[in-house]
Amino acid sequence: MPTVADLLPLPDDGAVGRRVRMARRVRDLSQDDVARRLGSYGLQLHHTAIGHVERGTRALKFREAVALARVLDVPLRWIAGEGSATDPGEPVAQTEAMRVLDDLLKAERERALAREAGGE
C-alpha cells in the first residue's frame, strides 16, 4: 500500500533549485539582485549561496524559501514543486514596497558615489 510520501513526494534540492533559477531568469534578476532583495527580509545570503541553491547543492531553510518566493514573486508552493515545472506564471504581486525599496537603494548608492567623487 502506498504511503503519503509515495503519493505526495517532496521535491529534491535540485528540482527546487531549477525552479528558483527559472523564476529568477524570467524576472530578469541576477543572483546579486536576489541576494540584495533577500536582505530587505533580514536574510544575508551572498550571491554565491543563491548559485548553490540553484545548483541543488544547498537546501533552503523555510524562512529563506518564503522570502525567496516573495522576491521572485512566485507562490511558495510553486517553488516546492506544485504546478508547471517550466513556467513560474505571472508575477503574484510585484509590490510597490519592493519597487520603492529598489529606488531608495539606487538613490543611496548614487549619493554615496557623489560623495566619493566630491571627496567627502
| Residue 21 in domain | yes
Measured between alpha carbons, how far is 107 from 90 in angstroms, rounded to an integer?
28
pLDDT tens, position by position, 6-37: 666 677 888 999 999 999 999 999 999 999 99
Number of domains in the chain: 1
pLDDT at 85 over 80: no
Measured between alpha carbons, how far is 116 from 70 in angstroms, rounded to an integer?
34
Q: How much is the pTM? A: 0.67
CATH of the domain at 74: 1.10.260.40
Structural domain including 35 reads: 4-92
| Residue 8 in domain | yes
Measured between alpha carbons, how far is 38 from 45 in angstroms, rounded to an integer?
7
| Residue 41 in domain | yes
| Residue 75 in domain | yes
| Residue 112 in domain | no
- Choose between 79 and 96: higher pLDDT: 79
| Residue 59 in domain | yes
Share of the chain above pLDDT 70, in %: 78
The letter for the amino acid at 97 is A
